[in-house]
Structure formats: structure tokens, C-alpha cells
Structure 1
Amino acid sequence: MMSNKHKRILIFVLLYTILFVFDGVKWLASLMPSSITNYLVYVVLALYGSFLLKDRLIKQWNEIRYSKRRFFLKS
């Protein structure tokens, strides 16, 4: 049985695949002929994905922020 978070991630992946890989944005734009439709879809999907993966993004940001930056200084 899938957890609630996994279901949401699956929905995000399906939406991304349909809208951007299979060009569903053009189909959506034909339903709503406004030019702002594409931007709205991009923003909503980006926000949805960032809220789904917020804990992972924070963890990776902290790893980057507090890691020793040896790759900048070659000794």
C-alpha cells in the first residue's frame, strides 16, 4: 500500500510527464486560450513539486551549506 506522500509524488510525475513530455500544455492552452496559461501551469507545478520534496530540498541545502568547500581550494 502506498503512503500518501508517494501518491502525491506519483501524481506530480504523471502531471509533469503528460504536460511537458507529451506536450499537454498545448492541449491545455487550446482549452484556455489565454497566454498566461503556460506560465500558470509552470508555476503551479514547480510549487507543487517543491512542497512535496521540501524536506529533501532542505536536507540537501544544509549539506551544501555546511560542507567543507575543498573543491574551490586546490592544495
Structure 2
Amino acid sequence: MADILNAHAQNFGDRPAVIDDRPDGNVLTITYAELDHYTNQLGHLLVGHGVKPGDRVVWCGQNSIGVVAVMSAARKIGAT
């Protein structure tokens, strides 16, 4: 499967990918380019910790930019 996030980072890098409207009133935004870079780093970190294609990765925390990044990184390395 083509890496859709990478394609969006190439074509729309400076556009917002995720907007996180926090309960405290802060609004956090990450661009496609930033998200792609971050997910690549997380993917390498997951592989370094022994995560392999087909493994399951679980997010335990608030919905946030982080959950999008972790799930995207897992997808990039073939984990679910």
C-alpha cells in the first residue's frame, strides 16, 4: 500500500494534517510534513524495540496528535 501520509507530506507539507482542540482551550496543529517526519522517527523507535510487521501496537492515553502519530508509525512498519 502506498504511503498516503508521505504523499500528502510531499504535496501538501505545510498544510494542517491534525488539529487537536484540547480541553484546556489550547489548539495544537501539526502539518503533514511534521507528522510524516514524526511518524518515521516513531517507526524506527518501534522497530528498535522489537516491533515487527503483524505485531499489534496499542495506544493507551487521551486522543491527541500522539495517537495519530503512533497509529501511523505502526502502519508504516506493518504493525496493526
TM-score, reference length from structure 1? 0.32
More helix by percentage:
1
More strand by percentage:
2
